[in-house]
Structure 1
Amino acid sequence: MTSTPDRRSSGRAQATDEGWRRGFAEPDFEEDEGRRGGARAAAARSDVDDVGPGVFEGVDDHGVITVTVDRSGRVADVVVPPTWRGGGALEPRELGHALCTAANNALLSQLADTLRRLDAGPVAPKRTSLVPPEVSMSEVADLFNRFERDFETYRTRLEEALNVTGVGTGPNGRVTVTMEPGRVVEVTADPRWASHSRHTEIRAEALRAFRSAVAKLGNPDPNAVPLPPSLARLRELARGPVN
């Protein structure tokens, strides 16, 4: 007697076999890492000490790297997403330029905010006259005769005071930042190291390099350069008596 195969039994065996194979299938670590990396990137943003009006963001031309600075121009954080190398977003050789662009865009935002706050300041009182009556015209003429020479001397001293450069390097020497007052001149990053390093390592290395450069730059203050007597007197006269 010929037996007929049990279709239900065969179907259960096939399903069990497929489930057994799926149990040994390689999990999608890349997708899982992307999810965990996104959470870490969000957490990195929350690590900024003063999130809010006192922090200004800048991104690179590709919209991948983010740098934040505080009101003083100090780099508060560097955000490198875990997928920064994926999908042709950035090449490792482009990392330094991207960090430089993002930092300068953040500094521009900080400068724009400073100018807006200056414009919103109190309105200067109106002068009643250009030259107070107690000031002789001969004094004014003498001040203007000395103005051009004294101004050139003052400008030279001011440029010398502000013409400083700070160079900082990360703890592993993989990222180097060169800064001048108010701007980042250059950022270099070892492309071989960047091609395989984790985004968290890159963030830490870049952040330390930025902060080291700022520390070496110091705090150049144009107010530390005194005005020549003729310029100081002209400024005093320009303010004039007020209503």
Structure 2
Amino acid sequence: MGFGRRSPDDWDEDDEGDLWLVGSGDPSPRSDPPEPEHADVVTGTDPAGAVTVAATPEAEVVAVTLAEDWKRRIDPRALHSAVVTAANAATAQALARRLETTDLGAAAPQPAAQQDDSPLTRQDVTRLLDAVTADLGAFTQRLSKVVDQPVTAESPGRNVSGSAQRGQVLRLGIDPAWASAARNTEIEAEIKAVLAELRSKSTPQDLAGGPRSRAIDELNALASEPQRLLRRLGLPS
């Protein structure tokens, strides 16, 4: 193996501390986080700029980036707090993005179905409303189990763990000795794994779209066409 002269770009924080070549220019390492690979993402960061968390508008974590000089910006023992701040900031940005792009006046899309113009009796309406009430109660019960109970996660390497509730990270634990010695890429991977699992557990995809059932869809379809509903009830439209 040769020992030729190395370029300044070849040195990083893992090369025997903060060793720099004479004449390499500014001894400060590049601290700007790289651009996220995903085009449509929101980001959150801590006040020191040590950690950046990138997420989709649906708040799914797609990247965790540590500034190359993050150990100069914050103590490794405070890394967990910086990650919590960055992760929750990304979640808040994702919520803001969804609100900006959501048409609150648009009706929810209904599944295609053959138009039904058969008469509706009072008993038909009562049965439908009872079924909708039961379905909404079941959904609320499932949802409360998620939003009221914190969920936990641990990274494969067991160096990072955390808890979350209602899509927000409550606590994150990071082994400071491991964080001080591990490469940034290793730290980023374990943090991302925990944040992604916490997001998945605290916001299940089958509940994210709201309550859905055959009775609820039928009621929504009736409500979306009031004139036809009046005709089916035998009332003047």
> Fold match, TM over 0.5?
yes
Spell out the pairing of 1:126-137 with structure 2 (5 A cutoff): 134-136=119-121
**Please, what TM-score do these two structures have when normalized by structure 2?**
0.61
Aligned partners of 2:195 and 2:25: how far apart in 1?
28
Higher helix residue share: 1
Aligned partner letter, 2:70: W
Q: 1:186 and 2:175 equivalent? A: no
Higher normalized contact order (CA 8 Å, seq sep 6+, divided by chain length): 1
Give secondary structure in 2 for the equivalent of 1:45.
coil
Structure 1 position 187, deviation (Å): 1.6
Match of 1:37 among 22, 29, 39: 29
Aligned partner letter, 1:205: E
Aligned partners of 1:114 and 1:242: how far apart in 2?
32
Larger Rg: 1
Deviations 1:66-106 (A, max 9, x none): 111124433222221233232xx423222112112211211
Unaligned runs of 5+ in 2: 1-17, 108-116, 229-237
Aligned partners of 2:193 and 2:28: how far apart in 1?
24
Spell out the pairing of 1:21-170 with structure 2 (5 A cutoff): 29=19, 35=27, 37-38=29-30, 41-42=31-32, 45-46=34-35, 48-50=36-38, 52=39, 54-86=40-72, 89-119=73-103, 123=106, 134-136=119-121, 139-140=124-125, 151-160=136-145, 165=151, 167-170=153-156
**Please, what TM-score do these two structures have when normalized by structure 1?**
0.60
Task: Flag the 1:149–1:156 CA change in 2: closer, same or farther, 3 A.
Answer: same
Structure 1 position 63, deviation (Å): 3.6
Whether contact under 8 Å (2:29, 2:68) holds in the other structure is yes
Identical positions, percent? 25
Whether contact under 8 Å (2:56, 2:94) holds in the other structure is yes
Unaligned runs of 5+ in 1: 1-27, 125-131
Aligned partners of 1:147 and 1:217: how far apart in 2?
25
- Hey, what does 2:221 align to over in structure 1? 236
Structure 1 position 235, deviation (Å): 2.6
Give secondary structure in 2 for the equivalent of 1:186.
strand
Give secondary structure in 2 for the equivalent of 1:192.
helix
RMSD (Å) for aligned C-alpha atoms: 4.3
- Hey, what does 2:12 align to over in structure 1? none
Structure 1 position 215, deviation (Å): 6.7
Match of 2:187 among 166, 186, 202: 202
- Hey, what does 2:111 align to over in structure 1? none
Match of 2:213 among 194, 208, 227: 227
